[in-house]
Amino acid sequence: MKLISTFFILSIIINCCFSVIPTSVRLAFGKNQDEVRVTWWTDDSMDSPVVLYNTEMFLPEQDSASGQEATVMDYDTLGFHGHPTTAVLSGLKEMTQYFYTVGNKNSGEYTEVYNFTTGKINQLGEITPFTFSIFGDMGYGGKGLDSDFYTVANLYERSNDLAFNIHVGDIAYADETWDSAINGNQTVWNQFLDSINPVSSHLIYMTCPGNHDIFYDLSVYRRTWLMPTDDSYEVSWYSFDYNGVHFVGISSEHDFLPLSEQHTWIENDLNTFRSKNPDSWIVMFAHRPFYCSTVWNWCNTTKDDLKKAFVYSLENLLYKYNVDMFISGHTHSSERTLPTYDGKPLGTYSNPKATIHITVGTGGNSEGNQHNWYPQPIWSSGYRISDNGFGLMNFINSTTLSWQFVANINNTIVDEIFITKGQF
């Protein structure tokens, strides 16, 4: 009897301290158009991690769904523990709603059943209309109207109208204190992941790294946000196609100079795509902008040498390969340029002769927004706003898209323009 009691107490201690209950569920595109990656986090390592999925609603215990085994990973950053776990669902049908749950098969512990909808699998250039959201610099724990809470709530309210989300860096702001500046704070990191779960478990959530995501060596970022890169643990740049549009996500936090690995990859990707698709849309995104005009070092083109190198190294590729839109964050404000190259406006929104740049670092974070502006540059459209919110890009057809900025106050559209596909 005493032995049984001791075993019972030990079981309670073990179950109390460790858990394989999945949390922080996230979706991302896979390397192929018929793939979706599912990633989640558990405190303890699962012994039989699996994703169950079906085109019809199901109950996990009835085993009425297909199963995809998952891979358990470990953090290698000091102060972080637990296990990111991931699986890729392949062979998915286009324009189809899937129901899924993640869990541990042997213990029977699963999340609720979520759902997502796949896009059109087609040759590029044939646009199937869609809308995606894009924003940067959100974090966790902002105050008042500067809080990320409003961004998440408003994205969730609009989720039925969205195909996916793109978060252009400075994701959780888990490095804001002296103690967390080097290795990050896992409590804040996990709080952010849990806060976006209502959105990231139903909508694809794509990312690129920002300066607040680096921590020690970006390993936490790479084990959390498994994007369709050539190597999930080593590089942070990638591309994907959706409904006829080519997207290119790059890292402004890595070497981008000519002859670097990233620069070579970017040019190869753009050259390969553009040679086969001369008239298709290309959208590129990164954390740091090429053009911005808030009173801040990065936006001061005469002082910031890193900014000069960034523009010198990459802007010519945008012009050479007819990149239509470049979207970024970093500055906690939103503004858009006229079609611009080499600091000069070229063309109009109805006839662009260069890339249009949009900054939308307004997701809401504890640092707050920037409210002071330099005199309006010649490349500026005149639209400059410090309200928190997010952008919506609506692809209408092969020649027209619209851009909208949604202010978190009342979840309303406060800026809208229509853009025609340009050739340059």
Q: Where are the domains of the chain?
A: 21-117, 130-420
pLDDT tens digits, 209-237: 999 999 888 999 999 999 999 877 789 99
Q: What is the mean pLDDT of the chain?
A: 91
Fold exhibited by the domain 21-117: Immunoglobulin-like (2.60.40)
pLDDT (tens digit per residue) in 125-167: 789 999 999 999 999 977 776 788 999 999 999 999 999 999 9
Of 156, 63, 152, nearest to 110 by C-alpha is 63
Of 3.40.50.1700, 3.60.21.10, 1.20.1050.10, 3.40.50.720, which CATH number belongs to 130-420?
Answer: 3.60.21.10
Cα–Cα nearest to 355, from 391, 389, 302, 314: 314
Segment 61-75 mean pLDDT:
86
Q: pTM for the whole thing?
A: 0.93
Q: Which residues pair with 114 in a beta bridge?
A: 100
Distance CA 88, CA 22 (A): 16
* Mean pLDDT on 53-57: 95
Predicted confidence band of residue 18 (pLDDT cuts 50, 70, 90)? low
Compute CA distances 272 → 267, 279, 369, 422, whole Å: 8, 13, 39, 19
> Is it the case that residue 383 has pLDDT exceeding 80?
yes
pLDDT, tens digit, for every residue of 298-319?
Answer: 998 777 789 999 999 999 999 9
Weakest mean pLDDT among 18-32, 34-48, 189-203, 339-353: 18-32
21-117 and 130-420 share one fold: no
Sort 191 into a burial class: Cβ within 10 Å, 0-12 / 13-18 / 19+.
middle
Q: How far is CA 64 from CA 60, 95, 191, in A?
A: 7, 22, 33
